[in-house]
């Protein structure tokens, strides 16, 4: 593998955003994801190679470590932030159509719920997997989700909720989307959820962590 891509994968895995970033201490003063992604493209490495050979495997490793409790949310957020910095250099290629995306993923935290850390992690990891993200933010009602699905035919929808009190809202949103767009795949996640609840409300997939969402989307795109 190209040494730039190898290094890029490493800095994303360990959450080194850019050269000025003090985190992690052992990489202080070295190029971060921002500089290395730029260098990779300037060296003539294809944007798809940057994504599939460096970013996706790095976030896979991060997801694996998170699932095994070897790292926790703060480290995962730093890795997601580093990946976001690298993605800024790749986005123009996706938007121009030079690089084909795997599909569109609409994500939002359901109405009544203002938590966004889990949602942001999933959005960043899914984007790193080569999907176009439509992030509707927090406190999102069924009409907003439905409109986004109408505007992005064939998109997959992700619903997040962290409060038990907002789980009922999630059920309403799933029902509304399925009424208007019966073929839409909906995945749900959030601390109080279970697969039993997912079945009860008619959603298609439940994941306890971001990695599960990425794996499910990978299967859909295959």
Predicted local distance difference test score (pLDDT) of residue 110:
97
With cut-offs at 50, 70 and 90, classify the pLDDT of residue 100: confident
Q: In this structure, are residues 129 and 79 in contact, taking their beta carbons and an 8 Å threshold?
A: no
Sign of the dihedral through C-alpha 83, 84, 89, 95? positive
Q: Flag whether pLDDT at 129 surpasses 90.
A: no
- Per-residue pLDDT tens for 174-201? 999 999 999 999 999 998 999 999 999 9
Q: CA neighbours within 13 Å on the CB side: how many for 69?
A: 0
Predicted local distance difference test score (pLDDT) of residue 73:
85
Predicted local distance difference test score (pLDDT) of residue 104:
96
Instruction: Spell out the domains of the chain, with CATH numbers in brackets.
Output: 1-99 (1.10.1240.10), 101-222 (3.40.50.280)
Alpha carbon distance 133, 126 (integer Å) = 8
Work out the average pLDDT over 8-23: 97
Query: Phi-psi region for residue 58, left (φ > 0), alpha (ψ -120 to 50) or beta?
Result: alpha
Q: Estimate the share of the chain in helix, then strand, then coil, as percent rounded to the nearest 5.
A: 55, 10, 30
Q: Flag whether pLDDT at 153 surpasses 80.
A: yes
Map tokens 């050979």 to a residue: 53
Cα–Cα distances (Å) from 129 to 17, 87, 175, in that order, read: 18, 11, 28
pTM of the model as a whole: 0.79
Which of the two residues, 124 and 219, has the higher pLDDT score?
A: 219
Alpha carbon distance 32, 82 (integer Å) = 8
Lowest mean pLDDT among 54-58, 88-92, 95-99, 150-154: 95-99
Q: In this structure, are residues 19 and 30 in contact, taking their beta carbons and an 8 Å threshold?
A: yes
Alpha carbon distance 195, 204 (integer Å) = 10
Alpha carbon distance 194, 201 (integer Å) = 11
Predicted local distance difference test score (pLDDT) of residue 214:
87
Of the candidates 213, 201, 173, 206, the residue with the CA atom closest to the CA atom of residue 188: 206
Q: Flag whether pLDDT at 137 surpasses 80.
A: yes
Q: Report how far apart the first and last C-alpha atoms of the chain are (Å, whole number).
A: 24
């Amino acid at each position: 593998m190209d040494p730039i891509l190898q290094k890029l994968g490493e800095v994303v895995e360990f959450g080194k955003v850019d050269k000025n970033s003090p985190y992690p201490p052992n990489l202080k003063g070295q190029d971060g994801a921002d500089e290395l992604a730029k260098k990779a493209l300037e060296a003539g490495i294809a944007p798809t190679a940057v994504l599939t050979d460096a970013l996706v495997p790095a976030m896979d490793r991060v997801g694996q470590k998170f699932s095994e409790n070897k790292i926790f949310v703060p480290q995962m957020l730093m890795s997601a932030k580093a990946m976001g910095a690298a993605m800024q250099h790749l986005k123009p290629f996706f938007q121009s159509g030079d690089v084909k995306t795997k599909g569109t993923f609409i994500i939002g935290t359901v109405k009544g719920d203002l938590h966004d850390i889990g949602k942001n992690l999933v959005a960043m990891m899914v984007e790193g997997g080569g999907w176009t993200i439509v992030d509707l933010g927090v406190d999102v009602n069924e009409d907003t989700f439905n409109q986004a699905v109408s505007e992005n035919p064939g998109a997959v929808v992700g619903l997040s909720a962290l409060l038990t009190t907002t789980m009922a809202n999630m059920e309403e949103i799933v029902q509304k989307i399925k009424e208007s767009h019966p073929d839409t795949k909906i995945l749900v996640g959030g601390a109080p959820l279970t697969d039993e609840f997912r079945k009860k409300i008619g959603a298609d997939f439940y994941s306890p962590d971001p990695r599960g969402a990425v794996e499910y989307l990978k299967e859909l795109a295959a």
